[in-house]
Structure 1
Amino acid sequence: MLNSFTPHQIDYIKLWYLVQHSLSSFYKLEQYFGSVAAAVQPEHLLAWSEVRVHANHQQRAKEYLSQSGQQAFENVLKQLQQHCDFILTLDDPNYPNQLRPYANKTPILFGQGNAQALLQAQIAIVGSRKASPHGRQVAYDFAYYLSEQGFFINSGLAQGIDEAAHQGALAHRRTIAVMGTGLDSTYPSAHHTLRQQIVERGGAVITEFLPHTKPLQQNFPRRNRLVSGLSLGVIVAEASLNSGSLITAKCAAEQGKLIFAIPGHIYSEFHQGCHQLIREGAILVDHPEQVLEDLALPTQWQYQQQNIDQLSSDSTLPSSKMNAQTGESNTTIPDTATSPQPIHKIVTQIPEHLLALYHQLDWVGQSIDHLAQQLDLEIAVLTAYLMELELMGLAMQQSGLYLRCRPHK
Structure 2
Amino acid sequence: MSISFPGSGLSHTDWLCLSFLSGIGPSRLSRLYTYLSELDQQTPMDEHAPLSLFDEEKTTEAISYELLIALKWPEITARQAMDYFTSGTLSKEQESKRDESLAWLEDADHHLVLQEDELYPTALKEIAVAPAFLYVEGRRDVLSLPKIGIVGARKCTRYGLDVTFQFAEQLSSRGICVVSGGAMGVDTAAHQGALHSKTTPTIGVMGTGLFHRYPNHNQQMFDQILEQGGALISEYPLSTRPRPHLFPPRNRIISGLSMGILVSEASVKSGSLISASYAIQQNREVFALPGRLTDAQSAGCHQLLRQGATLVRHVDDIVAECPALSSASIAKPSVERMATGKESSDSYT
* TM-score normalised by length of structure 2: 0.78
Answer yes or no: is 1:190 the counterpart of 2:193: no
Q: In structure 1, what is the Cα distance between the partners aligned to 2:306 and 2:258?
A: 22
Structure 1 range deviating more: 217-226 or 140-149: 217-226
Query: What is the identity, as a one-letter code, of the residue corresponding to 1:294?
Result: E
Q: Give CA-to-partner distance per residue, 1:108-149, whole Å, 9 cap, x none.
A: 010111111110100111100001111000000000011101
- The aligned counterpart of 1:181 is 208
Shift in Å, 1:78: 4.3
Shift in Å, 1:62: 6.2
* TM-score normalised by length of structure 1: 0.67
Q: Give CA-to-partner distance per residue, 1:343-365, whole Å, 9 cap, x none.
A: xxxxxxxxxxxxxxxxxxxxxxx
- Contact kept, 8 Å, 2:24 with 2:73, in 1: the verdict is no
Aligned with 2:76 (options 26, 46, 56): 56
- Amino-acid identity (%): 32
- Contact kept, 8 Å, 1:25 with 1:53, in 2: the verdict is no
3-state SS of the aligned residue for 1:221?
A: helix
Structure 1 range deviating more: 184-193 or 34-43: 34-43
- The aligned counterpart of 1:91 is 116
Shift in Å, 1:39: 9.3
Q: Give the 5 Å matches for 1:196-345.
A: 196-296=223-323, 298-299=324-325
Aligned with 2:101 (options 56, 63, 77): 77
Q: Give CA-to-partner distance per residue, 1:176-203, whole Å, 9 cap, x none.
A: 1000001111111111111110011011
Return the structure number with greater relative CO, CA threshold 8 A, min gap 6: 2
- Contact kept, 8 Å, 1:20 with 1:57, in 2: the verdict is yes
Q: In structure 1, what is the Cα distance between the partners aligned to 2:62 and 2:146?
A: 44
Shift in Å, 1:290: 1.4
- The aligned counterpart of 1:68 is 92
Answer yes or no: is 1:11 the counterpart of 2:14: yes
Shift in Å, 1:380: 6.4
Q: In structure 2, what is the Cα distance between the partners aligned to 1:38 and 1:190?
A: 46
3-state SS of the aligned residue for 1:106?
A: coil
Aligned with 2:151 (options 126, 131, 135): 126
Q: In structure 2, what is the Cα distance between the partners aligned to 1:20 and 1:80?
A: 21
- Contact kept, 8 Å, 1:184 with 1:212, in 2: the verdict is yes
Q: In structure 2, what is the Cα distance between the partners aligned to 1:148 and 1:32?
A: 41
3-state SS of the aligned residue for 2:15?
A: helix
Shift in Å, 1:101: 1.7
Aligned with 1:20 (options 17, 20, 24): 24
Aligned with 1:101 (options 104, 122, 126): 126
Q: In structure 2, what is the Cα distance between the partners aligned to 1:9 and 1:179?
A: 21
Distance 1:170 1:48, change over 3 A: same
- Contact kept, 8 Å, 2:101 with 2:238, in 1: the verdict is no
Q: In structure 1, what is the Cα distance between the partners aligned to 2:67 and 2:93?
A: 16
Q: In structure 1, what is the Cα distance between the partners aligned to 2:234 and 2:68?
A: 29
- The aligned counterpart of 2:192 is 167
Distance 1:144 1:73, change over 3 A: closer
Q: Tell me, which stretches of 5 or more residues in structure 1 are unaligned?
A: 304-367, 369-376, 382-409
Counting matched residue pairs gives 304
Shift in Å, 1:174: 2.1
Q: Tell me, which stretches of 5 or more residues in structure 2 are unaligned?
A: 5-10, 40-52, 335-349
Root-mean-square deviation (CA, aligned residues, Å) is: 3.0
Distance 1:120 1:284, change over 3 A: same
- Contact kept, 8 Å, 1:15 with 1:26, in 2: the verdict is no
Shift in Å, 1:38: 5.5
